[in-house]
Amino acid sequence: MNHLISTSILNADFTNLQKVIEMINASEADWFHLDIMDGVFVPNISFGLPIIEQIKKHTKKPLDVHLMIVEPDKYIERFKEAGADILTVHYETCTHLHRTIQSIKSLGMKAGVALNPHTSIDLLEDIIQDIDMALVMTVNPGFGGQSFIQHSYDKISRLKKLMIEKQSKALIEVDGGVDLSNTRKLNDTGVDVMVVGSFIFRSTNPTDTIASLKKA
């Protein structure tokens, strides 16, 4: 019950972004989760730096920025300037991952590495002690509202075991299909941060839904 909730605004009402920010600020949510999609790495386009800059002006909580883009190294400094507190890149897009992690941390941000559903946990073995967070995608990245991939529990368990073996202090984050039906089991499996978007913004009372997710 000590998990964090990172609220994904991907499915929020962008015509009322100010109200969305105020709601999250006033809620029990811990972070804002911002999915940046380029239409190349994933088959969708979301939003970019100007939106992050506007959110940063009004938020009272950390910005958890998830880059689903090719060549993320080109934009690391710009995302720092826009207001990112945590910057997560995909293992699948980084040729020199250790260098990318160093670049993120040198700018004062926390560094995360995300893995697609088909990507093995074992590939993090040589980097797990250097990162602040490992993000397990529990749906295929690109769109909100997908169903949770059930074998992700085993993947999370193996990640937790690897972290213990390597004495890593990194947080485990999951993204995709999280709702009240699986929050308790994810917490028991070792998840520290749960990204939730569709389940919150499709509910009749997002503030109460966030509170329920925190208590689950």
| Residue 35 is among the residues annotated as catalytic for this protein | yes
Catalytic residue among 30, 64, 132, 175: 175
Burial-class residue 28 by CB neighbours within 10 Å (0-12, 13-18, 19+).
middle
| Residue 122 is among the residues annotated as catalytic for this protein | no
Catalytic residue among 30, 35, 64, 179: 35
Beta strands, E only, the chain: 4-8, 31-37, 63-68, 86-90, 110-115, 133-137, 171-175, 193-196
CA distance 20 to 18: 5
Contact 96, 76 (CB under 8 A): no
DSSP β-ladder status, 86-90 and 63-68: parallel
Q: Which residues are catalytic?
A: 35, 175
